[in-house]
Amino acid sequence: MHDELPFQLYSAQQVRDLDAQLIAGGLPGLELMRRAAAAAWRSLRHGWPHAGALCVLAGGGNNAGDGYLVAALARKAGWQARVWHLADPTGLQGDAALAHAEALAAGVDIQPWRADAPLEGLVVDALLGTGLKGAAREPYAAAIERINASELPVVAIDLPSGLDADTGAAAGPLVRADLTITFIGLKLGLFTGKGPDHVGSLVFEPLMEEPQNPAHATAQRLAPGNLPRLARRPLNAHKGQYGHLLVIGGDEGTGGAAIMTSEAALRCGAGMLSLATRPSNVTAVLARRPEVMVAGVHSSFAVLELAKKADVLAVGPGLGQGAWGKALASAAATLDAAQVWDADALNLLAAGVVQAPRGPWVMTPHPGEAARLLEVSIKDIEADRPGSARELARRYGGVALLKGFGTLIAHPDGRMALCGEGHPAMATGGLGDILTGIIAALLGQGLAPFEAACLGAWLHGRAGAELGRQGRGLAASDLPPVARQLLEELQPCLN
């Protein structure tokens, strides 16, 4: 489970500030650009040692300067090297202009971009860099489409052109790279939204000797080396020390969701587990998971009685949005116990028919639920996933876990974490119910809401990634045993 990438994720402006600090500290900007170009050249030569030719598509800023210097290095190594420029080189300034001059001196073939420009060998994307906001304009948009249609290996300098470095969104065409070499600080947008699907393999080059100050990062990337930790258990541990969890859900016909949440919580260490559900589900629960103390309930009064013994509530799996579900969610919201809300509990909250919990809590919406909670469109959510997660946490006063590849966990105090684990095979029903149970179990074992959401998201995503290696056909109930094994490997139970 070794992970060599840094944990800190930055905004584009933060990386520009770090760049400026390096230059102010005495490192010339051209030397920084040369280091970036040398790192990119090493990476692409390692990946395609026998390519022998590359063509760089260059824009008009420092990203283009990196591209010109990569072309110069390739030419000096005996490769064929051509630059197609989309911005007149005579308009380049500062270090980018010096980089262009070095490419000319090295004998690089530098030509203005045209619609029928041939692409051959390796394609190096040095078009737009981190400064893009909104959709790429012409002729850049057409050039991006041309790169994607070329069927050639593509190497992106810093990030694929068309990608928003801060949000991972793309308002227009977006380069699909085979390899991305990024510098100085990891950009948040590389890991969420459309970023993961277009970055390809990711190489990070810090270009500096001293590490960045993590206090200035916009988010933390979750990895085995920085996950929140559960305490090891002493030999005389007993069930009362690890949380009594009450799952509330399972309307007529959707009892399976509540059962899966219960099973996931048990597999991830909940000490005791009760389930408040429709009476018609009781027999199925006892047959499937006899460890669950299941109660068929008709009213909110019965839930309040059960909750007197509970430390943590998991509300929403299969709850429904009828009168029964509304009554149970309304009752749960009045309690001080830590809670995890998902699915129909969030839909009821978005509809304004129930209030948010008054105690510490975690919400786990997918983009559709997030859109309803924020009264915007799904497109708006995906256009700024980090901003959406932060707004959910601010507006509702709980930890917001916005699902999707590049899951984001936001705290009302501004902290944010990103989980990059997962697999396309997880695109199936019931996975959210499993996540709810995992997080609730971690809450019951003493983690604070933000930490429980972070560790829960990682266990869930990593379990799905491991199961996804087998391909399509993953079932949600496959996950709990794998999550249990991962937790034991990372954080052994026994003291």
Architecture per CATH, domain 6-213, reads as: 3-Layer(aba) Sandwich (3.40)
Instruction: For residue 336, say whether it is annotated as part of any ligand binding site.
Output: no
- Say whether pLDDT at 214 is over 70: no
Q: What is the pLDDT of residue 472?
A: 96
Does the annotation flag 404 for ligand binding? yes
- Token look-up 């876990």 returns 401
Query: Would you call 257 helix, strand, or coil by DSSP?
Result: helix
134 marked as part of a ligand binding site: yes
Q: What is the pLDDT of residue 213?
A: 57
Q: Do the annotations mark residue 366 as ligand-binding?
A: yes
Predicted confidence (pLDDT) at residue 466 exceeds the cutoff of 90: yes
pLDDT band, very low/low/confident/very high, at 19 (cuts 50, 70, 90) = confident
pLDDT band at 210 (very low <50, low <70, confident <90, very high): low
What is the enclosing helix (H) or strand (E) of 417?
strand 416-419
β-pairing, 312-315 vs 338-341, is: parallel
Q: Tell me if 428 is assigned to a ligand binding site.
A: no
Confirm or deny that 11 is annotated as ligand binding: no
53-67 per-position pLDDT tens digit:
999 999 998 999 999
Domain ranges of the chain: 6-213, 237-488
Helix (H) and strand (E) counts for the chain? 17, 19
Looking only at the bridges linking them, the beta strands covering 416-419 and 293-296 are: unpaired
What pLDDT does residue 21 have?
85
pLDDT band with cut points at 50, 70 and 90 for residue 216 = confident
Least confident of 95-104, 132-141, 225-234: 132-141
CB 209 within 8 A of CB 233: no
Residue 486 annotated as binding? no
Describe the chain by its helix, strand, coil percentages, rounded to 5.
Answer: 45, 15, 40
Percentage of residues of the chain with pLDDT beyond 70: 98
Tokens of 382: 């995906």
Mind giving me the DSSP string for 343-407?
THHHHHHHTTSSPPPSSSEEE---HHHHHHHHTS-HHHHHHTHHHHHHHHHHHHSSEEEE-SSSE
pLDDT at 430 over 70: yes
The answer to whether 184 and 206 have CB atoms below 8 angstroms apart is yes
Residue 11 above 80 pLDDT? yes
**Percent of the chain at pLDDT above 90?**
91
Question: What CATH number belongs to 237-488?
Answer: 3.40.1190.20
Q: Which of 490, 444, 492 is nearest to 463 (CA)?
A: 490
For helices 29-47 and 62-76, give the axis angle rounded to 10 degrees.
60
How far apart, in whole angstroms, are the C-alpha atoms of residue 363 and residue 339?
Answer: 9
- Given a cut of 80, is residue 211 above it in pLDDT? no
pLDDT of 215 reads: 56
Mean pLDDT of the 294-309 span: 96
pLDDT of residue 207: 86
Do 268 and 437 contact (CB within 8 A), yes or no?
yes
Q: What is the mean pLDDT of residues 429-437?
A: 97
What average pLDDT does the chain have?
95
Q: Is 129 annotated as a binding residue?
A: yes
Is position 403 annotated in a ligand binding site? yes
446 is in an annotated binding site: no
Q: Is 59 annotated as a binding residue?
A: no
